[in-house]
Structure 1
């Protein structure tokens, strides 16, 4: 009888002894049938089953699964012992033969030892196994072993451990939740992201670490979609334990059981705060570049426009003088001049936008300005709109052009009142001191020359607010949401702030309405000298020679006519090099020079410097459609500035102021 047969006999012996029968052959047949069934069951069992003698150590029986496990035939295995299909030592370093005898002795005592064991194939490849031993009753001591192949399990464990190591090390949130949305796992990065630390997650739902609106969408819209499609990707928001919201990129996956139902969900989230900040920085840079480009374009257009207007305005004013006795012609000339003046205002607006308009900087007391503001806007806003002002105590004066600052405030207040519409509302103008640390509005312009300390002015309304599109275009020239909107609108506000080396920001209020914020420099303790305006005295050009330098032929032509009308001997030139050559030939011949600041080859300042090197007291009238140069105060009393477009009257006043102040020189 085989060992497996012996096992079968032992299993049923007690049953047969319990029956009283006179037919021994029938009992033997039952025993043989039972043994055959038992052997068949063992032979076809999925786990490897072996028996071996304790004394000899050799296998006495092996089933088919054992042959498959060890990669040997039945005959080969029956010639071996269990430790001959084991490595010399187990993974813990213990010798295999000694470790095996310890387990066998336990089985001999009637115990059922169960343990992990390392076997090897014919080629020596390791076979991790679980082994359970049991004593086989009989005359010879034998032990039966059931052996389960753990290679797939160990491989799965290694894979699971690798995945866990990856999940534990990744900077992204990785989590799992059951079909009901209860959290099963959250990696360390995920715990840090939502601020949960070592908190027990067994009762934490997906909804608990999302804002309410997002949680509702996930539980009622996204997860049902994931169940149906298996996957969802998109942007989401998680809720930190401190209540702050964190934007994330999220992927949700459904994992199904054998019946097709959801076993669990997994998710990966990547913190988007850095990406959002980078996107916002890029948006601000692009917005600033757009504003800068528009400003440069507006300034260039205004400059060219002013050159054209010089010809119109100066000719119109000259025509009025020449036709003073002809009322009809004088009227026409005045109408031309009036239209050109309106065009000049538009050009001035473009210069305001570009930051190149002329300013008279002074210390401005804001309490007085805000007091005047109510008078300036009352007639233009609805009686239902209330204008309120709030002033900080010990408010320092702002360093600004008073007229331009009033223009900015009036524009912003009117803009706020129009946003309120026909209903009741409030426009609040608030002034205080700011260190600039919190001035990080989403839509803003900061001058590269912005230096503290600053005066901050907020103009806030509770009107209809602004859409994202409007916020992006609010400072664009000629952009308006009003049917009858015209002009530069808030673009001129931006330009004035630029020209003051300040900053401006606009942001919608969560409760509705909009807030514009301005930063302006605080006035210096020692006010800077402001160049005086011409006194307006007339000039007699008879017997005096003047050099006109301008690259625009129309400007030279009208300047020549006006100067000849005033009695000057006029020489004009359109090129900087030619102008210098003429001047250097006889520098003492010239009583004055009318010099354009913006020309090709050499700028007006470069020409001026070379002329003054030759003759330091030369009277020079600089002219431009842009701002006067910053160094005007350092150039001396014999250098003045005349803004384009100019008229005969303004040209006459400027020369009348300049020539008497120039150092007298005796001609040879």
Structure 2
């Protein structure tokens, strides 16, 4: 009652008053009411007039709205997704705390203004976003949906999936756009990784198929090459020094040896052979490699050499040096294929300090050879240069590269205790440097080129088995020139029968590995059951089933890869026979 007295006094003073109060009903319920009270005097009398309205429904609605807003605010703060609400009439926009946190900001650090989205969204993606949104607002799309990137506070890009729907007024005009932002950076990274793994799997399957094909080609080609090399060497022996025929056949022998090395490179590329490390002078193998590479490049590409002499000795597989130069020059050629240009191949000795190899944790400072291949092409962009040594990364067309060349070079150099570096700027060409450590002890240096010298003769009895008749006949002629007495068989079953009949009539067996009916390995095992100390040499053009180590486990004393030069075969025979004495 006192409260009402205060209100009436206030009404009297001001003339009118609008306020809310609680009124008890006849049934004892308290209800909220809205009161408009007025005071006036009439004929000297005071009058109070009031209009009282029950506002229970309005109060319940206000409480529900307040609770809804509180729940909305809590949801905005708890949600990891970003939420935005854009009023198209007033152009006011609201970004939730989660929207801002997604980009690394606290709620108070970013204002709720549309310019924030424009400032942080990648500029080249904004036009597409506007196009999709306008199509939605025009009714051409059910909703707005797009992926784009926004700049994080720390400077990196965040992949965003944005979805939104417009709210239309009664007149069909859009009045609001409400939507979400979801951080899909990890999902995009996982998708990229999955695609990369799929590409690697496909590439691995291709390489496996290439490897199988290379193995088959190597076997058949080495057999053919063996006949060419063997007969050429015999013609070489019969031709007088200085004659026209001798000069010509010398080139056939040299070409045959190069073809032999080419097969090794194919097998090495398809990972079908192990690295055979020898000590050699790199300038010799580099000059030979350049001769082979020059014929494979068009006349629009000029090759220049800057090869220092006596740079030192390295312990490497010469086939892998060929592979390094082949991959680097191929990359250089592809960079200049349309315009032409110059490839510069250089070799020099370089002393690397601890400071110069600080970025290569597995490399020790000291003397190195530096093999460099440079080109005058368009160069490599910095963002691409960081990825060029990654497996399967390539900027070439599908039919121009696998993305494995530089990764293979990097792996070869690392296995030798070296490394690869690249210097390039857009528009200024590129230059790759391969660093390989020099060996401290240069003794026993081997020549990687075609060797010559005397072949040790003999007079022992040899059983020679090869299912290729031309190779069997050629081998017989070659060995007879060395003084041996040779019996040939072109069938492994017949050879076993011959040996069973007269096992003591032979001092040595030379057998091919891949033959119909019975492999060379099985034939050798049966012969050794008959005569355990029988010296056997196993030859193969290529086989996945046998290696030198495996052959030795089965008691085979010699192992050779076709094609065999006369000198190599003769020396191997003497070595095996002398070990048995």
**TM-score greater than 0.5 by the shorter chain:** yes
CA contact (8 A) 1:458 1:517 kept: yes
Structure-1 residue corresponding to 2:78: 169
Q: Offset at 1:244? A: 2.1
Q: Offset at 1:495? A: 6.3
Q: Offset at 1:207? A: 0.4
Structure-2 residue corresponding to 1:194: 103
Structure-1 residue corresponding to 2:560: 642
Q: Offset at 1:238? A: 0.8
Match status 1:214 vs 2:125: yes
The Cα offsets for residues 318-340 of structure 1, whole Å up to 9 and x where unpaired, read as 65659979x9x999999999998
Distance in 1 separating the partners of 2:357 and 2:526: 42
The Cα offsets for residues 412-456 of structure 1, whole Å up to 9 and x where unpaired, read as 24543552443789989999748579xxxxxxxxxxxxx878999
Distance in 2 separating the partners of 1:473 and 1:599: 46
Distance in 2 separating the partners of 1:51 and 1:489: 83
Q: Over aligned residue pairs, what C-alpha RMSD do you find?
A: 6.4
Residue aligned with 1:205, SS? helix
Structure-2 residue corresponding to 1:655: 569
Counterpart of 1:81 (choices 13, 21, 28) is 28
Residue aligned with 2:85, SS? strand
Q: Offset at 1:569? A: 2.6
> 311-320 or 131-140, which moves further after superposition?
131-140
Structure-1 residue corresponding to 2:277: 361
Structure-1 residue corresponding to 2:487: 569
Q: Offset at 1:315? A: 3.7
- Map 1:118-517 → 2, pairs under 5 A: 131-132=33-34, 145-150=54-59, 161-179=70-88, 183-188=93-98, 190-198=99-107, 199-203=109-113, 204-218=115-129, 220-229=130-139, 231-317=143-229, 321=234, 347-356=263-272, 359-361=275-277, 400-402=316-318, 404-405=320-321, 407-409=323-325, 411-413=327-329, 415-420=331-336, 421-422=338-339, 433=357, 462-463=377-378, 474=396, 479-480=399-400, 511=426
State which structure, 1 or 2, has the greater radius of gyration over its C-alpha atoms. Answer: 1
Distance in 2 separating the partners of 1:336 and 1:386: 25
Residue aligned with 1:194, SS? coil
CA contact (8 A) 2:492 2:519 kept: no
- Structure 1: gaps spanning 5 or more residues: 1-13, 15-48, 60-79, 84-116, 118-129, 390-394, 438-450, 481-487
User: Structure 1's 564 and 409: CA in aligned 2 closer, same or farther, altered over 3 A?
Assistant: closer
CA contact (8 A) 2:510 2:536 kept: yes
Distance in 2 separating the partners of 1:512 and 1:163: 56
CA contact (8 A) 2:303 2:343 kept: yes
CA contact (8 A) 2:512 2:540 kept: yes
The Cα offsets for residues 146-176 of structure 1, whole Å up to 9 and x where unpaired, read as 3324555555555555555444333333223
Distance in 1 separating the partners of 2:454 and 2:281: 33
Distance in 2 separating the partners of 1:613 and 1:525: 49
Distance in 2 separating the partners of 1:636 and 1:527: 35
CA contact (8 A) 2:280 2:316 kept: yes
Q: Offset at 1:381? A: 8.9
- Taking structure 2 as the reference length, the TM-score comes to 0.62
Distance in 2 separating the partners of 1:638 and 1:140: 125
How many residues are matched? 509
CA contact (8 A) 1:505 1:516 kept: no
CA contact (8 A) 1:398 1:522 kept: yes
Distance in 1 separating the partners of 2:280 and 2:178: 63
User: Structure 1's 307 and 262: CA in aligned 2 closer, same or farther, altered over 3 A?
Assistant: same
Q: Offset at 1:206? A: 1.7
CA contact (8 A) 2:147 2:159 kept: yes
CA contact (8 A) 1:462 1:512 kept: yes
Distance in 2 separating the partners of 1:414 and 1:512: 19
Residue aligned with 1:568, SS? strand
Distance in 1 separating the partners of 2:319 and 2:536: 30
Q: Offset at 1:236? A: 0.8
Distance in 2 separating the partners of 1:337 and 1:314: 11
CA contact (8 A) 2:37 2:51 kept: yes
User: Structure 1's 224 and 599: CA in aligned 2 closer, same or farther, altered over 3 A?
Assistant: farther
Residue aligned with 1:224, SS? helix
